[in-house]
Amino acid sequence: MRCVAEIGLLAYPDCQLSSIHGLTDLFRIATEWTAETGRSFIRVTHWQRDTRTPGGPPVCTWDSHPGPPHRLDYIILPPSIVMPDRMADMVQEAAWLKDQHGSGTRIGSVCAGAFPAEPGFHVSTTQARGRKPRRILG
């Protein structure tokens, strides 16, 4: 069988984990539909900060089809459960997203998931009010 797409879900600090699991379930159903032909599948992976290597890029923590090397076609950032002014600094995630985008990966987000895509994101309450994320990935 052939992988038609690898979709990475980025579990950043204070993200809505139910969204990660819900999206995983939806893509699993889509995979079942594509698998009916017997020729293709959608690979879903979960990525998050590597606590063993502070400052390093996110690592894969779950894989629907483990084995082959990763080639992320899409990365989705789920919504946050905290307001943007309370989101943790996500410099390493932002750098990783920019690198992935530079390699051809498409980046998408749901709601406040757009904020971690900004390099060095960490704003004060005053800055976050009424603020829309900048498009920085190209």
The string of pLDDT tens digits covering residues 68-84 is 999 999 999 998 888 87
Q: Which residues contact 69 (CB under 8 A, 6 or more apart)?
A: none
Q: Domains of the chain: which residue ranges?
A: 2-81+103-113
Percent of the chain with pLDDT over 70: 80
pLDDT at 85: 75
CB 42 within 8 A of CB 3: yes
pTM: 0.80
Residue 130: CB atoms within 10 Å: 5
Residue 129: pLDDT band with limits 50, 70, 90 = very low
pLDDT at 125: 33
The string of pLDDT tens digits covering residues 96-127 is 998 999 999 998 888 765 555 554 443 333 34
- What's the distance, CA 48 to chain centroid? 8
The angle at the Cα of 20, spanning 136 to 101, to the nearest 5 degrees, equals 25
Q: Which residue has the tokens 């943790």?
A: 88
